[in-house]
Amino acid sequence: MSDYQYTERIIKQMIAAWAEQNKRVDVFFAEYNEDVYLKEVAPKRNRAIYLLGHLVAVNDGMLPLFNLGDKMFPELTADFLFTPDNVETKMPTVGELKKQWKELNLKLSERFNAMRVEDWMGRHTSVSEDDFTNEPHRNKLNVLISRVNHQAYHLGQLKLMHP
């Protein structure tokens, strides 16, 4: 098997790992009534609804970072990315966030599957051309790897909830 085919296979495996984490989040947020997700995952820790908004905001950031377009839900950035969980924050409902999560991941999946090996191995928009020459591991695939781990991290927390 050629190396090009190896590289394509690995990239497919990483996209599959990302999709698998998305699916586990889907399953978790389909399991209970909406009011359950208004509870904290553990005493004095983030509420599940906050973590869902946070995961949407983080995945959404991959669109501009990969030069695939603007964020779909830029209104979530301030409250779910730059601000810790706060009961005073006026949030969308769990149902609205779940809808955004699905729409976003559908769009990202389509875009990811259309990207070529060279796209994945190319720099993301927050690293300069000069820096990328010296640090070629700062490519789009590395961002995806890090996002998959970030989702697993928060999924582990969500699964500690007592519904």
Residues that bind a second copy (CB under 8 A): 1-4, 6-7, 9-14, 16-17, 21, 41-45, 117, 121, 136-137, 141-142, 145-146, 148-150, 152-157, 159-160, 162
| CA–centroid distance for 14 within its chain | 13
- Angle in degrees, 0-180, between the axes of helices 48-60 and 3-30, rounded to the nearest 10: 150
Q: Return the amino acid letter for 41.
A: V
Q: State which residue, 36 or 117, has the beta carbon closest to a second copy.
A: 117
Least distance (Å) between residue 90 CB and a second copy: 26
What residues form DSSP beta bridges with 47? Answer: 40
Q: 44: which DSSP letter?
A: T
Comparison of 2 and 33: residue with beta carbon closer to a second copy:
2
Shortest Å distance, C-beta 142 to a second copy: 6
Identify which of residues 90 and 133 has a Cβ nearer to a second copy in the complex: 133
Q: Residue 92 or residue 148: which is nearer to a second copy going by CB?
A: 148
Output the smallest distance, CB 140 to a second copy, in A.
11
Dig out the tokens for 76 from the structure.
Answer: 């979530």
| CB burial readout 31-70, b (16+ within 10 A) else e | eeeeeebeeebeeeebbbbbbbbbbbbbbbbbbebbebee
Least separation, in Å, of the C-beta of 1 and a second copy? Answer: 8
